[in-house]
Amino acid sequence: PEQAAAAVAEIKAAGAPDAKFFEGDLRDADKIASMMKAVAAWAPIDILVNNAGIQKTVTLAEADAKTWDAVIAINLSACFHTSRLALPAMAARGYGRVINIASVHGLVASVAKAPYVSAKFGLVGMTKVAALEYADAGSRETGGVTVNAICPGWVETPLIEPQIMAMARKVGGDRAAGVKALVAEKQPSGRTADPADIGAVELCASPSMHDPAWRRPTLSPELQWSDQGEGELGERMARAAKRWLDAGQPLLLIGTDCPELDCQMLQTAAQSLSNHDAAIAPTADGGYALLGLNRFDATVFDNIRWSTDTVARETLSRLETLGWTAHRLPSLHDIDEAADLKWIPEAWRDDIEQERPTPDQHPHADPRELAQ
C-alpha cells in the first residue's frame, strides 16, 4: 500500500490532474478482469503498459510446476489478459498504445532461466500477433493502435540484485565484479543500465506509421512516433532535430543501419553534450551514424552532399564555422551496400534468417527481391 500511495503521489506531482491505484492479482484471470473493468469504468484506457514481472533462477532439472506456473502467469498470461481486455475498446475509439516490457531474454536465452526465457519469448511473439491484428485499427486522424515490445538488457533493478550478489560470490569478488561477470555474455559494455538511462525515444518514420510496412516489425518507440514527411534527407533530418531542440531537449539523431552503434556509445555521446555543442560518430564511408546536438541551426543540414564520402567532413566544417565544439566518437561501419553485410554481427544473422518474409507472406513480391 505504501508503494502504491507513493506512486500515485508522484504521478500527481508530475502534473496529472488525477491518479488512482487499482488493485489486482495478476496471477488470477478473474481478478485481472475485475481490475480492468474497474479501470475502464473510471476512465478509458488509452495506454496499457505491461510491466509486472518475476524471475526464478533455476535449472530445468530443479524447476517444479509451481515455479513454472508462477513465472508464466505473471510474465506472460497477465499480459495476455490485460491486452485482450483493453485492445477492443482501443480499436473502437481508433487510438491506443500497448507497450509490453519484455527483455533481452525474449530474444536470446540464458542457462537456468527456462520459465523466464519462455515467458519473454512468448511475450514477444504475442506482441507481434497483436500488432498485426490491430494494424488497421483507427486512422491517421485518430492515431491508430500500436502494440510494441521493449527488450532491455540488464537494467539495475531489485529484480536482478540477487543474481548480482550470487555471481559476485561465484567469482570471489565484490558487487562490481558480480555485475561484470553477470552481463559479460550478453552486454558488451560490461555494465548494467540504470533505469534513468532509458530515456525518450522517437521513431521518425518513412513511410507513415499507418503504412502496411509497419505491420511486420516489432519496435520499441516509447509511444513517440512521427512522420519524416516530404523533402530531401537534410530537410527531413532538420525538421526532426528542430522539433526536439526547440523544446529545450538535447538530441541524438541516429539512423537504423549501423549495428556497431551500441548503448555504450549512445551514453558516451549523450554525456559529451554536457560540455560540447555537438557529437558525431563518423562512418568509414564518409557519412555519420550519429549526430548529437544541443542547439539548432539549419546550416548543419542545408545543402550537404548526402550519400557521398564528404558528409561527415562537410558537417564538421559547418559546426566549426558556427563556432560550435564537437565531440568526435570512433569511426564506425554502416550497412549501405551488399558488401557491407559483413559488418552485421554473427548473432544477428540467425535472427534475420528466421524473420525473412516468405512468398506466401508477400504473394505479389518477386522471390528474388525477398532473397535480397
Cβ(69)–Cβ(26) below 8 Å: no
Choose the catalytic residue: 95, 116, 134, 288.
116
Rounded distance between C-alpha atoms, residue 349 and residue 346, angstroms? 5
Closest CA to 152 of 126, 128, 123, 177: 123
Strand partners for 324: none
Cell of 323: 563556432
Cell of 31: 481478478
Could you confirm whether 116 is annotated as catalytic? yes
Closest CA to 76 of 179, 157, 8, 149: 149
Q: What sign has the CA pseudo-torsion 128, 133, 135, 138?
A: negative
Cell of 296: 539548432
Long-range contacts, 160-167 (Cβ 8 Å, 24+): 160/55, 160/192, 162/57, 163/57, 166/57
CB atoms within 10 A of CB 367: 10
Q: How far is CA 144 from CA 36, 66, 334, in A?
A: 21, 39, 32
Helix (H, G, I), strand (E, B) or coil at 154: coil
What is the 8-class DSSP label of residue 194?
Answer: P
Cβ(72)–Cβ(119) below 8 Å: yes
Strand partners for 58: 113
Residue positions annotated with a catalytic role: 116
